[in-house]
Structure 1
Amino acid sequence: PVCDDPPAFVANFGRLVEFRTDTQHLASTILSALLTRSSPALLPHYGLANNTFIGLHFRTEIDAVNVGYTSFEEQTAAYLPFVSSTPIRTVYAASGNITSLSLFAVEAAKLDPPATVVAKGDLLEGKDKQALEALTWDQQALVDYLVLTKAARFAGVSDSSFSWGIAYARQVVSAEAGTCQSVGGLQEGVQFRDELSTVFGRPRDWHINKLWP
């Protein structure tokens, strides 16, 4: 499990099998589009940009709703203050439920100063957008994964192994590398936080021995 392995192993083992080249190309194109929205200075974290974009993952698909996972309203209530806490005003949001992203964009635009919410489909054009739309839902999630791992700050939800996987993948280049440990003094509704990522939601511990690098 990722929490029992040293940072060097976690950082490299999962790369023995590369992501599909088409998903890598699409993610690279999206990241380039995001970079044009700001003048980023790179953090010393293997390409993470410290003022380019915030990454958010919403787990609001119908299966999550049916089993009573953290609701869209609860995720929104957590994410809006998270966005407000940083001067970054571009938000890259991911979800299999596009309606959730549109609704959140409306709320983010009400912040002071307002934040702009974009998704992968908003940042691709022409053949690249056609290539994205030709992918299955889970293949498109690979593109989101690659983009979200490069966010300046990331927030996800504790019901989602996707969110946890991103948070722990990013932790290998953080001050807490190799620990799977959160900083202390977490507020209610926060299950994990380090210098790069935050996971909101209800207490969950199933991921500790089930996530692999």
Structure 2
Amino acid sequence: MESSRGLLMLGLFAMICSITFASEPSPLQDFCVADSNGPGTGLHIAGNTSNAVGSRVTAVNVAEIPGLNTLGISLARVDYAPWGINPPHTHPRATEILTVLEGTLEVGFVTSNPENRLIKKVVYKGDVFVFPIGLVHFQRNIGYGNAAAIAALSSQNPGVITVANAVFGSNPDISPNILAKAFQVDKNAVLNLQSKF
């Protein structure tokens, strides 16, 4: 009887300790004071969307605000011309939550292999949508006016890999023979795409 009571107490103690120590890791430092004379972030200014894709991303990460160091967060403002897109891309180190400031966006992400299922939705002013870490995702303005959104990311340096740029604009080029076989298209189509990047 005494040994089972001892085992019960030991089990309870182990459970309490595991609950007590289960938390988010602490940052390496409390905070980092940024240069108060440095430039602002510019999130109040709409980005220039007169480019091939019709969007502009204004990033606010540890490179722009040193005070974000070790905090595990960053932001971006995304501006869209009418029918502009934020092309398919991925953030290898962060989940993203997008909040629509103005306009109407079609947003989506693709699940991983082998399913490769497209999850998409139309979102309006005030709506939010989450893009899981590492998954290819996109946004498209489906309205006739400008649109804007704020993206919050779970890393001070989330990284971004734009699919088309990475595949067709690598330096040096990926062999057109490899890409033609991978995409099941003519080699000339690949060469044409590579010339655009």
Question: TM-score surpassing 0.5?
Answer: no
TM-score (norm 1): 0.25
Structure whose CA Rg is larger: 2
TM-score (norm 2): 0.26
Higher strand proportion (structure 1 or 2): 2
State the structure with bigger RCO (CA 8 A, min sep 6), 1 or 2: 1
Higher helix proportion (structure 1 or 2): 1
